[in-house]
Chains A and B, each alone.
Chain A
Amino acid sequence: MAKEKSGFPSFCKELDRPEGRAQWGKSLQSLSVEDERGFEGLALALCRSQARRVAPLARLLQAEGGVPTGWRRIPPVPQELFKQVRLFVPADQAPRRIFETSGTTRQNPGRHFLLDVDLYRAVSTEGARRAGVPWETVDLHFLVPSPPEAPHSSLSAMFGFWSEQSVHPSRFWIQDGRLDQKGLLTTLSEAVRSGRPVGLCGTAFAFVPLLEQGEGSALCLPRGSFLLETGGFKGRAREMSKPDFYRALEARFGISAEEIWSEYGMTELSSQAYAQGPDGVHRTPPWARVRIIDPLTGRDCLTGEKGLVAWVDLANIDSVLAIQTQDEAIAAPDGFRLLGRSPTLPLRGCSLTAEDLRSS
């Protein structure tokens, strides 16, 4: 890549081109978790680059006195902003892929515009690999719609990448919005009989009907199998604590809690964090970092303190690298314990809220 006077690559143009993006991907994958300086250099360069074309980020930087000297000072953009404006870096080019948030805010979804999914593909496969999720060694069953059926779902896209890159068979089990329970359970039973390990991956909520249907009986998935859940239950009619959920999964699928993975990602990001087991700490890949911010002070939490998750994701090259979520977590020495969506404010009584307006 071309070098700027500062010594950092000139990203603006390079990251609009496939070769430049591939080179950037290689740079990210060469980072190690301990490489604080390398991460910082790339983060600040990307921040500077994005601020040239993303006005909201430029304004936030201006309010903070310019591009900071450390990655922790990069102002995170509220996740909510993805619902209000188009945050898209590449100039004179149209996004080839748009991912949209789902859930209760369907009428006004957050939109993540990507020039291409090349980097998303690279980091979402490599990130899971580095976390230790054994997705390449088993048959994969996804409790989500396939990418063609849900072209705006970033989760479907990610599982699609896993499916493409795995040499083992894989299948998406949600069609027309319905989980094909019978077909899935028949296939899983066959896997149990033949001793072929499987990976069962989907939203936490998608597992619920499988748990309900099989209450009292276990499938006893073959050794080497794993489960991967994402999303939690917040905002759904049925809520279950994580320990209860994992116990139910263990009982239903006959595997140990350590073979259950929790994925934490979001539409507006390109990278994911993973945790193993019910007490597992979520860890990010080397090209992404998470800050846990105390909303009362605006400062980083110390280990053991609760705050809100803010991401710095160097793979988010087409929008903004730093994003503030409303997800709660407890800061840990080498990651964070995800608690889930910040509790909704106390009942607003009869005062109208944004969610009310969208759902009415």
Chain B
Amino acid sequence: MIASERIERLAPVCSLFPELGISGREDLCRLLTAALGRLDALDGFVPYGRGWSRAIAPQRLYHVLAGTVPVSGWRSLLEGLLLGSENLLQCPEQQSGAMVRFCAALPRSFRKLVRILPSYSEDDFASADAIVVFGRDETVRLFRARCRKDQLFLAYGHRASLLWLGALSRPTTHLVKGIIRDLTEYDQAGCLSPQCLILEPEAAVLPLAELLAHGLAENARLDPIPRRPEEAAKIREARTMARALGWPLWEDGDGLQWTLIVRDLPQFQPTCGHRVLYLDKVPRERLGSWLAPLQGHLSAVGVTGRVPLSVQKLFWSLGASRCCRVGTMQSPPPLWHHDGRTPLVDLIRWVDWEGPHPPTSPKKSRLLS
């Protein structure tokens, strides 16, 4: 099957899973083109400089998926299938249902290229020529150590995202809805979920907090989520800490659906998640030192209005790979440079053919794929 045929068959699946942020055929074409320069580079030799080149995809990909959100696993599998690779998915129990659902939506010819593994399989891991890992840095280190030198290794370690609203003076309902969308999606468990909302001291912090509290209460009323004891324990701990430290706090009591805390800390600290959002007042001149613990770990930054160049540069220096509008943090575009990398590029190896003509005809290259 050549790339264009794979695109045609995968496109309908994308529309069934809008969380992927890939609308269909055109986005898939853009993905491949951005990575390869042209669509047919996986199918045969294409002109390159004074000669010819061909992209080689992994024959077998071993994916180590995160337990928090399904979408990163879906996307990883989709990319593997787009390249024409076989895919072994080490999928945590929490996400196995979502992954089975995704696989069931695939055309039969693709389902044959997918196998879900309930746990680590040494033999399967060894049989793959490329490894993709999502997880904590510790997990990444563990799998990197298990890799052979000839196995391609691609990892997405732990990251944190945040909202930066500067000196916001008039919070609007529209803005608040966006913040709530960013916060509540995946129960704040993904690396694109905002861990805190940073404002400059002159911003209208309390009016914003009150609007957010109102919106979150409404959201919880319409779409409550059940809490597990370990989540409840973390949420209660965060609230008690805030009360003990004298930080202003808004919350929904025993519902444990949402918590807003206006925090006063000398440096960034992560949230426990589960819709516990910290509002941090940080002057611009202190932003660099305040965010220093995030060095190399920053992922997405949700913003509104103009972002001063100095602040932009700071975010880039901390490792941010994405600056986006409030409300869109959980919906990166198809070509998003995840952790700063062009999608698919790191999974591809190139072979050059030097000479005036390519070695095989396009028809022959179809057979090769």
Contact = CB atoms under 8 A, between A and B. Distances in A.
Given A349-B69, A350-B66, A295 B193 contact: no
Nearest to B233: A295
A352 B66 contact: no
B360 interface: no
A350 B240 contact: no
B68 A295 contact: no
Contacts of A81: 241, 244-245
B195 interface: yes
Contact of A296 (B232, B273, B294): B232
Contact of A75 (B68, B190, B232, B240): B240
Contacts of B293: 357
A354 B240 contact: no
B134 A356 contact: no
Interface stretch (A161-169, A172-180, A264-272, A339-347): A339-347
Given A348-B136, A348-B158, A349-B67, A294 B243 contact: no
Interface string A286-309: 000000001111100000001110
Contacts of B158: 348, 350-353, 356, 360
A348 B92 CA distance: 11
Nearest to B237: A78
B66 A347 contact: yes
Contacts of A85: 245
Instruction: Specify which of A295, A307, A359 lies most central, judged by the most chain B CB atoms within 10 Å of its CB.
Output: A295
Given A56-B244, A346-B67, A349-B189, A354 B269 contact: yes
A352 B297 contact: yes
A345 B273 contact: yes
* Interface size of B as a range: 35 or more
A84 B241 contact: yes
B72 A78 contact: no
Instruction: Specify which of A60, A295, A297, A349 lies most central, judged by the most chain B CB atoms within 10 Å of its CB.
Output: A349
Contact of A349 (B135, B195, B240, B243): B135
Contacts of A91: none
Contact of B68 (A59, A306, A347, A356): A347
A346 B160 CA distance: 17
A324 B240 contact: yes
B161 to A, nearest CB: 8
Interface in A65-104: 75-78, 80-81, 84-85
Contacts of B254: 296-298
Nearest to A63: B243
Interface in A22-64: 55-57, 59-60, 63
A350 B241 contact: no
A78 B243 CA distance: 11
B246 interface: yes
Interface in A302-360: 306-308, 324, 326, 342-354, 356-357, 359-360
A294 B189 contact: no
7 contacts: A56-B246, A63-B243, A78-B241, A296-B232, A296-B254, A349-B72, A357-B269
Interface of B: 66-69, 72, 92, 94, 134-139, 156-160, 189-191, 193, 195, 227, 229-234, 236-237, 240-241, 243-246, 254, 256, 269-270, 272-273, 293-294, 297
Given A295-B236, A350-B190, A351-B195, 15 more contacts: A56-B245, A59-B245, A60-B240, A296-B256, A297-B254, A307-B229, A342-B233, A345-B230, A345-B234, A347-B136, A348-B136, A349-B189, A350-B135, A356-B270, A357-B293
Nearest 7 A/B pairs, CB to CB? A349-B66, A349-B68, A56-B244, A347-B67, A295-B233, A352-B160, A295-B232
